[in-house]
Chain A
């Protein structure tokens, strides 16, 4: 069996711009959302930064994966427009911008829902495993307190996520608008 040096499947174009933009968006979104989490949900600074980093990274991953799944399934016209925008920074027809706004709306609400569920998931994942309560009376009391706290948190988590997401998207939108000028 002769050992062949494999031909590296290296690409001939590098989408560094896309990566830098994604990185910039994360850099903008994380501190804003961390600040909102810190002020509204009263996590300490370190914890809120952790939550902000994780919800943004994970929603970014989910977004990318959705793109990778959707991209080959797009209708040919749309795919061509996408390619045209990526390589030549312009669309071929002018029917695209309305569609773009629609997509942006879907992305916004999609990430909002996603971030909420990620945050809830992380809250569960990071809670200390409860030790089995020895005292049944104490257990009952504690349980009701915990239940009310969880209920309170649920609504405030939703609004906090919405505010954090809106603010970070506004910041990103402002950056994009500044670029167009």
Chain B
């Protein structure tokens, strides 16, 4: 018998403890909302499809309602002496994540941008009500309170605009990534957190992609034909370059700023073919900059290296350097 009473006592002890932790003073209180949201969270974890979305939506609403209630109850804590309440900041963050977040990336730029505005609006809401808890009546706030609210909400909106501008500038860099390799030290407006990239990657990428195409065009070509091709190089390379740029830089707005041009010089044994990718967009250097990849085109006794039957006589061979190098200023003039 003793064992049973012990077990019973232990059981009631535990329930008392749980009751203490899960202390719900009355059915209609903020704790109820928080527990409902936790419960909905668990349920949505188990459910799937449409039901899951529905339950998680309810969970978010309960969480927001509970937090809002808890943080506005009694005498709310103010944020650094402003009219903004800490509770409104927290509730605002939840609303913002809930409304603009994504499933894959929980935080989006819009979450950040609209957070201050939403928090400001939430902190203004209690001014419209008097009383606490469940006993609430609507009222029009006093003119003085209205003034404070207008200034609070307006300054929060200005903050939101500033945050949005962060993302606008970031978007510019995503559309024109070659700007990242330039120096912003002349700029009055911008502070950068990362050192500039050493080489504009898109320019180098275009050169690397055009190299095999050139090799295909010239290798094993009859030497006199190759010379003819080289004489006509600016239109040939320009056309190839346009195609490569359009294909490789498709998703960037900066693609119209890259121009591909060849420079040809005679050497003792053949020709030196420089392929330039020239940046024509905004730059800190008034003469802008270009990237260069050097190739040598030389005659070669044909039919030795390959087993092409028609490659007889002298054929052209093109050898390009692996990387490309960056030069400031305008490119050398075309011959």
Out of A11, A80, A88, name the residue touching B184 (CB < 8 Å). A88
Interface size on A, residues (CB 8 A): 45
Given contacts A17-B187, A17-B188, A17-B191, contact A87 B162 (CB under 8 A): no
B49–chain A nearest beta-carbon distance, Å:
14
Provide the B238-270 mask, 1 if CB < 8 A to any CB of A, else 0: 000000000000000100100000000000000
Given contacts A57-B151, A68-B168, A129-B140, contact A9 B109 (CB under 8 A): yes
A86–chain B nearest beta-carbon distance, Å:
5
Provide the A48-75 mask, 1 if CB < 8 A to any CB of B, else 0: 0010011001101100110010010000
Given contacts A13-B170, A71-B168, A83-B176, contact A88 B182 (CB under 8 A): yes
Cβ A80 vs Cβ B191 within 8 A = no
Cβ A53 vs Cβ B162 within 8 A = no
Cβ A125 vs Cβ B188 within 8 A = no
Is B125's CB within 8 Å of the partner chain A?
Answer: no
Which chain A positions have C-beta within 8 A of B253? Answer: 76
B155: nearest residue on chain A (CB-CB)? A57
The interface stretch among B126-134, B280-288, B301-309 is B280-288
Is A16's CB within 8 Å of the partner chain B?
Answer: yes
Which chain A positions have C-beta within 8 A of B164? Answer: 64, 68
Given contacts A83-B282, A87-B187, A126-B146, contact A54 B107 (CB under 8 A): no
Which chain B positions have C-beta within 8 A of A65? Answer: 161
Residues of B5-64 whose CB lies within 8 A of A: 45
Is B322's CB within 8 Å of the partner chain A?
Answer: no
Cβ A12 vs Cβ B170 within 8 A = yes
Count A/B pairs, Cβ under 8 Å.
Answer: 138
Which chain B positions have C-beta within 8 A of A87? Answer: 172, 179, 182, 184, 187, 189-190, 282, 284
A5: nearest residue on chain B (CB-CB)? B106
Query: By DSSP majority rule, is chain B's interface helix, strand, loop, or mixed?
Result: helix
Is A92's CB within 8 Å of the partner chain B?
Answer: yes
Provide the B164-175 mask, 1 if CB < 8 A to any CB of A, else 0: 111111101100
Bound-complex Cα distance A26 to B161 (A): 14
Query: By DSSP majority rule, is chain A's interface helix, strand, loop, or mixed?
Result: helix
Cβ B143 vs Cβ A7 within 8 A = no
Out of A17, A57, A84, name the residue touching B157 (CB < 8 Å). A57
B105: nearest residue on chain A (CB-CB)? A6
Cβ B158 vs Cβ A60 within 8 A = yes
Cβ B165 vs Cβ A19 within 8 A = yes
Bound-complex Cα distance A112 to B286 (A): 38
A98–chain B nearest beta-carbon distance, Å:
20
Given contacts A80-B282, A126-B143, contact A6 B106 (CB under 8 A): yes
Out of A64, A88, A89, name the residue touching B165 (CB < 8 Å). A64
Bound-complex Cα distance A17 to B166 (A): 11
Which chain A positions have C-beta within 8 A of B176? Answer: 83
Which chain A positions have C-beta within 8 A of B193? Answer: 12-14
Bound-complex Cα distance A10 to B253 (A): 21
Out of B140, B161, B167, name the residue touching A11 (CB < 8 Å). B167
Is A128's CB within 8 Å of the partner chain B?
Answer: yes
Is B228's CB within 8 Å of the partner chain A?
Answer: no
Is A178's CB within 8 Å of the partner chain B?
Answer: no
Out of A16, A22, A60, A83, name the residue touching B191 (CB < 8 Å). A16
Which chain A positions have C-beta within 8 A of B143? Answer: 126-128
B172: nearest residue on chain A (CB-CB)? A83
Is B147's CB within 8 Å of the partner chain A?
Answer: yes
Out of A26, A54, A86, name the residue touching B150 (CB < 8 Å). A54
24 contacts between A and B (CB under 8 A): A7-B105, A9-B112, A9-B167, A11-B173, A13-B173, A13-B191, A15-B169, A15-B190, A17-B188, A19-B162, A50-B150, A54-B151, A57-B155, A65-B161, A71-B168, A86-B172, A86-B190, A87-B179, A87-B184, A88-B184, A88-B284, A89-B189, A122-B150, A125-B150
Interface residues of B (CB under 8 A from A): 45, 105-109, 112, 140, 143, 146-147, 150-151, 154-155, 157-158, 161-162, 164-170, 172-173, 176, 179-180, 182, 184, 186-194, 253, 256, 281-284, 286
Closest 7 CB pairs of A and B: A84-B282, A11-B170, A64-B161, A17-B189, A57-B154, A6-B106, A61-B157
| 11 new A-B contacts at CB < 8 Å, known A50-B151, A53-B154 | A1-B45, A9-B112, A12-B170, A13-B184, A18-B165, A57-B157, A61-B161, A68-B168, A86-B187, A87-B284, A89-B186
Interface residues of A (CB under 8 A from B): 1, 6-9, 11-19, 21-22, 26, 50, 53-54, 57-58, 60-61, 64-65, 68, 71, 76, 80-81, 83-84, 86-90, 92, 122, 125-129
